[in-house]
Amino acid sequence: MVTKRLEFQDLIKEDGKSFRLNTKVYKDEEIFRVEQEIFFHNSWTFLAHESQVEYPNDYMTTYIGRYPVILVRDERGKLRCFMNRCRHRGSLVCRAKSGNSRFFRCFYHGWSYSNEGKLVGVPDREGYPPDFDLDSMGLIEVPRLETYKGFVFASLKRDPPSLQDYLGNARPYIDLIVDKYPEGIEVAKGTHVYTVQGNWKLVLENSLDHYHAPFIHKSYFEAIGNQAGGRIELRSKNLVLYLGNGHGLDLMFRETDVYGHETNILLPGNRLDEEKAKWAKRITFHLLLFPNAILFDSDSPATTIRVVRPLSVNSTEVSSYCYVPKGVREEIKEKFLRVYERFYGPAGMGAPDDVEAIKAVDQGMEADLFPWNDLSRGLHREIRDHELKELGDFEVAGNGTDDTFYRAFYRWYVKKLEEVEGHEL
């Protein structure tokens, strides 16, 4: 088989009238390997919300790219992140998804570690030389762990750009999510985890895609329309924004929910300043924190954190959590959960449609005699300035159904790939 050398810049073709993307970005093993290095192993990735490890000794296991890690609040209350790898022969040290424990005991030969990472127990210690140094055999700590407004991020690099800079223009939107409630947010117990057949970027793209909703989610809108006696209100003015650093936003100007009820009611004691409070009443959104988290602020379908984990070039694990306002009555939290379940999760009426659409894309793209996808929608009506700039800056915006985000994203993405030299595709 003849393999053709492809320069990264050849992944995009644009001439002012059209924009095409080579679908190798979703199918090529080498691109997948390179992008894991750049975007997951050499930058910041989202790990969790701190309410998921709220109390001393709470822990959860997750991943930074391909690296399994343990996120734990140690005995003294400090949040820490360790490689989930035994220093003996490399087994996962912790195989549970989450829990509360002062120790992690490897199930293979029983080496035990404190939740501060120290090796504290080795069965049959006498079998090792007397001067064998247990103190240097602790769990390897992830170099950087930081939080922004309760959202926890980690980096395998010792000196990444600051988290604040990395989040950049996404920060005002995180502020809106958290500060519109007097006590912020917390993640409700329980997780939906599912595997999608398709490249991880397809999941990100789908999460900001407004063009598809009336088609693949038709049955969902019909069902809730029936519940509401046929009186649902779907009209809203939408924008899609590219925020820089891979981050994006699908934003809806909407002051009522699908049933016409007033939404975005600010509770007394909210922590927004006057300017942000004005915006919190007017908008709702899906915020992509590249590379692996999407925060769904929308009142309907629901408040969600979707975490994306690439498994292979065309297989992606998605973990989905519902977040709720902290410190409010249980009935209110329950209402959030019921709305979440209606759209998301295995029995939801929405998310399974998206999974099916992504799979169909993955299958269709096998026909790669002409390997180009079209991302030209809205090329003639991109927005560089908008009153939203009062809230936060952005690079480019477009109508909510347009491909504006994808174009800006893939220009940035290809530049990042090009920074890595010596790869032959």
Q: Which stretch binds ligand FES (CB under 6 A): 109-117, 322-330, 357-365, 406-414?
A: 109-117
d(CA 294, CA 307): 7
Residues of this chain that interact with Fe ion (CB under 5 A) are: 354
Q: Which stretch binds ligand FES (CB under 6 A): 59-67, 108-116, 183-191, 320-328?
A: 108-116
According to CB under 6 A, which residues from 110 to 139 bind ligand FES?
Answer: 110-111
Exposure letters 48-74 (e unless 16+ CB within 10 A, then b): bbbbbbeeebbbbbbbbbebbbbbbbb
Query: Which partner from the list ligand FES, Fe ion, none does 111 bind, CB cut-off 5 to 8 Å by kind?
Result: ligand FES
d(CA 389, CA 158): 33
Q: Which is nearer to ligand FES, 113 or 406 (CB)?
A: 113
Q: Which is nearer to ligand FES, 124 or 274 (CB)?
A: 124
Structure tokens at 251: 């934003």
Residue 9 Cβ, how far from Fe ion at the closest point, in Å? 31
First to last CA, the chain: 14
Residue 108 Cβ, how far from ligand FES at the closest point, in Å? 4
DSSP string, 171-210: HHHHHHHHHTSTT-EEEPS--EEEEEES-HHHHHHHHT--
Q: Is 157 in the site for ligand FES (CB under 6 A)?
A: no
Rounded to 10 deg, the angle between the 274-282 and 171-179 helix axes is: 80
Bridge partners of 111, per DSSP, are none
Residue 202 Cβ, how far from Fe ion at the closest point, in Å? 12
3-class DSSP state of 25: helix
Query: Which partner from the list ligand FES, Fe ion, none does 91 bind, CB cut-off 5 to 8 Å by kind?
Result: ligand FES
d(CA 232, CA 88): 59
d(CA 382, CA 11): 22
Q: Which stretch binds ligand FES (CB under 6 A): 43-51, 106-114, 273-281, 376-384?
A: 106-114
Residue 213 Cβ, how far from Fe ion at the closest point, in Å? 6
Which run of H or of E encompasses 293?
strand 293-296
Query: Which partner from the list ligand FES, Fe ion, none does 108 bind, CB cut-off 5 to 8 Å by kind?
Result: ligand FES
Sheet holding 44-49, edge to edge: 44-49, 151-155, 144-148
Residue 92 Cβ, how far from ligand FES at the closest point, in Å? 9
Q: Which is nearer to Fe ion, 110 or 214 (CB)?
A: 214
Structure tokens at 34: 């390179």
Which run of H or of E encompasses 226?
helix 218-227
Q: Which is nearer to ligand FES, 135 or 331 (CB)?
A: 135
- Write down the residue that tokens 């929910």 correspond to: 257
Which run of H or of E encompasses 12?
strand 12-14
Q: Give residue 264's Cα distance to chain centre.
A: 23
Residue 131 Cβ, how far from ligand FES at the closest point, in Å? 20
According to CB under 6 A, which residues from 228 to 247 bind ligand FES?
Answer: none
According to CB under 6 A, which residues from 160 to 219 bind ligand FES?
Answer: none
Output the CA angle 70-71-77, nearest 5 degrees: 135
Binding string, residues 62-101; x marks residues near ligand FES by CB under 6 A: ------------------------x-xx-x----------
Q: Which of 106, 156, 163, 417 binds ligand FES (CB under 6 A)?
A: 106
Query: Which partner from the list Fe ion, ligand FES, none does 86 bind, CB cut-off 5 to 8 Å by kind?
Result: ligand FES
Q: Which is nearer to ligand FES, 113 or 290 (CB)?
A: 113
Contact assessment for residue 88 and residue 109, using Cβ atoms and an 8 Å cutoff? yes
Structure tokens at 373: 């996808």
Residue 167 Cβ, how far from Fe ion at the closest point, in Å? 25
d(CA 305, CA 51): 13
Total residues in contact with ligand FES, by rule CB under 6 A: 9
Query: Which partner from the list ligand FES, Fe ion, none does 354 bind, CB cut-off 5 to 8 Å by kind?
Result: Fe ion
Q: Which is nearer to ligand FES, 110 or 346 (CB)?
A: 110
Residue 220 Cβ, how far from ligand FES at the closest point, in Å? 47
Q: Which is nearer to ligand FES, 27 or 105 (CB)?
A: 105
Q: Which of 29, 54, 99, 108 binds ligand FES (CB under 6 A)?
A: 108
Residues contributing to the site for ligand FES (CB under 6 A):
86, 88-89, 91, 106, 108-111
